[in-house]
Amino acid sequence: MSERFPPGFVWGVATSAYQIEGAVAEGGRGPSIWDTFSHTPGAVDNDDTGDEACDHYHRWREDLDIMVDLGIQSYRFSVAWPRVMPDGRTVNQEGLDFYRRLVDGLLERGIRPLMTLYHWDLPQSLDVGDAGGWLSRDVPDRFVDYALVLGKELGDRVRSITTLNEPWCSAYLGYASGEHAPGLTIDALAYRAAHHLNLAHGRAVTALRDVLPAGSDISVALNLHQLEAASERPEDVAAVQHVDLIANRMFLDPMFAGGYSDQLRDTTAGLTDWSFVRPGDEAEIGVALDSIGLNFYNPSRISAHPVATGGMPFPGTHRAFFADIPGPRTVMGWPIVPSGLTDLLVRVHRDVGLPIHVTENGLGAHDVRVDGTVHDEERIVYLRDHLSAIRAAQRQGIDVRGYYVWTLLDNFEWAWGYEKRFGLVHVDFADQQRTLKDSARWYAGVIARHRL
Ligand code: FCB
């Protein structure tokens, strides 16, 4: 039989507001950049939107009860900024009340909340055309105001707060590749956006420290890229280092190593002069955290030569290309390589040194419900192998404290709409019926045994 997980290891599930809540025009919620983007024809597969999503805004009690049935110990959810501040500035009590009820509902059920403040749904009135979006130095301060509202309102009940989810996606997919809201395609802007996201993070952490009770855990959730070279040739190894600067060290260096490196500035010099970094910014970004969240789905193999088709959403990476990783893939086309998670945990432990939570990991598939059940063996294998990869890291002494399956419910999967299903629980989007998949039952068993 497999080993037990360490005592206190936390079993969770993760979701995000725009992907599940629906009710976009209820309770005083204002529009977000994702409402605008998803309503732009052609932006999302099938022109799907989050208008209804999983209707979690109305069905949250049922969804929390499902978590209880599965034995879930912690729930990572995100707050919709435009629900709490519809214009990005003014507090909407009704929106705050929704999250207060949700948090109280979790605590009543013995489930620990992990609250993400920003999972990509910027209030529309703060966007590029309105107030500058993440290109503006003012938006980080609006984020601080918003963080303080939540810290004061819920900090007594929510002991774990994550500032940003995957700022890489907000910056590079939102401003350079155009795959995410607000859909811009200007490479240089991604660096400015990324810096202002970093600044928003740092300033919010400092502000939250003043209002949160002692012992609160403040973190950020990063989708760091686990990179491997296509060969041992020096040019492939150099290509990996180049991508690592842009994809990873753009966030890690100011948050944990004192500032942006000269190598990063040099490698992007043709795109940006970095004039958006002002004296003192890096010190503000580098404020101490209590833990780090890692979202992991797959590693990437990098070559100096264009060996694979498809672009790279890393602006400035014209010297590096994706190479194929042979072996199984998910329907997203993402290679399945659990050992990549062990490697990433080792790297983050070395470079960051904080306790780690794996805040997202899961598998997208075209799950079909047949006779009231969903047989998703592929997801069970994926989750099991990634949990084994965590155990492998723990055996090396790495402090991994928890695991959050992405995700509880099939949901609005951003630019992929509703076709790709990641849930432990199947959602019928015609009538909102929830059906446990085999993987949900399997995960409940793992939690109960505290071992695979
Ligand atoms: C991550 C996102 C999450 C979900 C998964 C599949 O990048 O944080 O919202 O879309 O990918």
CB of 440 within 8 A of CB of 351? no
Q: Which atom of ligand 1 is nearest to the CA of 362?
A: 6
Q: Where does residue 366 rank: exposed (0-12), middle (13-18), buried (19+ CB within 10 A)?
A: exposed
pLDDT of 298 higher than 70? yes
Backbone angles phi, psi at 19, to 5 degrees: -75, -20
- Which whole-number Å values give the CA distances from 164 to 151, 206, 292, in the listed order? 14, 14, 11
d(CA 224, CA 348) in angstroms, rounded, equals 9
Of the pLDDT bands very low, low, confident and very high (cuts 50, 70, 90), residue 451 is very high
What integer pLDDT is reported at residue 393 of this predicted model? 98
Residue 414, ligand 1, Cβ within 6 A: yes
How far is residue 414 from each of residues 33, 179, 197, 205, measured CA to CA in Å?
A: 12, 9, 20, 27
Instruction: Flag whether pLDDT at 128 surpasses 80.
Output: yes
223 pocket-lining for ligand 1 (C-beta < 6 Å) = yes
Helical axes 377-395 vs 339-351, angle rounded to 10°: 40
Compute φ and ψ for 172, nearest 5 degrees. -80, -40
Q: How far is the CA of 171 from the centre of ligand 1 (A)?
A: 14
Query: Residue 182, preceding bond cis, omega within 30 degrees?
Result: yes
Mean pLDDT of 111-129: 98
Please tell me if the CB atom of residue 253 comes closer than 6 angstroms to any atom of ligand 1. Answer: no
Backbone angles phi, psi at 426, to 5 degrees: -75, 140
Q: 419 CA to middle of ligand 1, Å?
A: 14
Q: How far is the CA of 235 from the centre of ligand 1 (A)?
A: 31
- For the stretch 371-382, pLDDT in tens is 999 999 999 999
Q: What is the pLDDT of residues 201-214, one digit of tens each?
A: 999 999 999 999 99
Sign of the CA dihedral with 196 first, then 286, 342, and 444 last: negative
What's the gap between Cα 384 and its chain centre?
21
* pLDDT of 310 strictly over 60: no
- pLDDT recorded at residue 8: 98
Residue 14 C-alpha to ligand 1 middle, in angstroms? 10
Say yes or no: CB of residue 406 within 6 Å of ligand 1: yes
Backbone angles phi, psi at 431, to 5 degrees: -130, 5
Number of neighbouring beta carbons within 10 Å of residue 429: 15
| DSSP code, position 155 | T
Query: What pLDDT digit, counting tens, does each position of 100-110 carry?
Result: 999 999 999 99
Question: Would you say the CB of residue 360 lies under 6 angstroms from ligand 1?
Answer: yes
Atom of ligand 1 nearest to the CA of 223: 7
Structure tokens at 246: 């842009």
Name the residue among 261, 245, 259 with its Cα closest to residue 315. 245
Please report the sign of the dihedral spanned by the C-alpha atoms of residue 250, residue 272, residue 415, residue 301. Answer: negative
Q: Could you tell me the pTM of the whole model?
A: 0.98
**Are 416 and 5 within 8 A, CB to CB?**
no
What are the tens digits of pLDDT across the range 31-76? 999 999 999 999 999 999 999 999 999 999 999 999 999 999 999 9
Q: Are strands 321-323 and 300-303 parallel, antiparallel or unpaired?
A: antiparallel
Among 77, 180, 220, 360, name the best residue to mutate to test ligand 1's pocket (greatest count of ligand atoms within 8 A of Cβ).
360
Residue 413 CB less than 6 A away from ligand 1: yes
Q: Is the CB of 121 under 6 A from ligand 1?
A: no
Distance, CA 1 to ligand 1 centroid (Å)? 32
Mean pLDDT of 346-351: 98
What is residue 308's predicted lDDT score, i.e. its pLDDT? 58
Burial of 69 (0-12, 13-18, 19+ CB in 10 A): exposed
- Phi then psi dihedrals of residue 436, to 5 deg: -65, 130
Q: Assess whether the C-beta atom of 166 lies below 6 angstroms from ligand 1.
A: yes
Q: Radius of gyration over alpha carbons of the chain, in Å?
A: 21
- Local confidence band at 311 (pLDDT 50, 70, 90 cut-offs): low
Q: Could you tell which of 295, 332, 382 is best to mutate to test the pocket of ligand 1, judged by most ligand atoms within 8 Å of the CB?
A: 295
Please give the distance of CA 15 from its chain centroid, rounded to a whole number: 9
Ligand 1 centre distance from Cα of residue 344 (Å):
18
Most distant CA atoms of the chain, gap in Å: 62
In this structure, what DSSP letter does residue 123 have? Answer: B
Count how many residues are written for the chain: 452
User: d(Cα 295, Cα 221) in Å, to the nearest integer?
Assistant: 7
What are the tokens at 446?
């793992």
Band of residue 189 on the pLDDT scale cut at 50, 70, 90: very high
What pLDDT, on a 0 to 100 scale, did the predictor assign at position 316? 80
Q: What interhelical angle do 56-70 and 438-449 show, nearest 10? A: 50
Q: Tell me which DSSP letter residue 352 carries.
A: T
Nearest CA to ligand 1 atom 9: 16
Whose alpha carbon is nearest atom 5 of ligand 1? 406
Looking from the CA of residue 19, the nearest atom of ligand 1 is 9
| C-beta of 422 in contact with ligand 1 (< 6 A) | yes
pLDDT per residue as tens digits for the range 372-428: 999 999 999 999 999 999 999 999 999 999 999 999 999 999 999 999 999 999 999
Cα(42) to centroid(ligand 1), Å = 20
**Pocket-testing residue among 15, 38, 406, 412, ligand 1, by greatest number of atoms within 8 A of Cβ:** 406
The per-residue pLDDT of the chain, averaged, comes to: 97
Strand partners, 74: 12, 112
Tokens of residue 86, six digits = 């519809």
DSSP at 31: P
Residues catalogued as catalytic: 166, 360
Determine if residue 351 is left, alpha or beta; phi over 0 gives left, psi from -120 to 50 gives alpha, anything else beta. Answer: alpha
- Beta strands 217-222; 292-295: pairing state: parallel
Query: Which ligand 1 atom is nearest residue 332's CA?
Result: 6
Q: Is 60 in the pocket of ligand 1 (CB under 6 A)?
A: no
| CA 89 distance to own-chain centroid | 24
Whole-Å CA distances, 76 to 18, 130, 222 = 14, 30, 14
* Ligand 1 centroid from CA 210, angstroms: 30
Q: Are 33 and 135 in contact (CB under 8 A)?
A: no
With contact defined as beta carbons under 8 Å apart, do 423 and 415 qualify? no
295 lines ligand 1 (CB under 6 A): yes
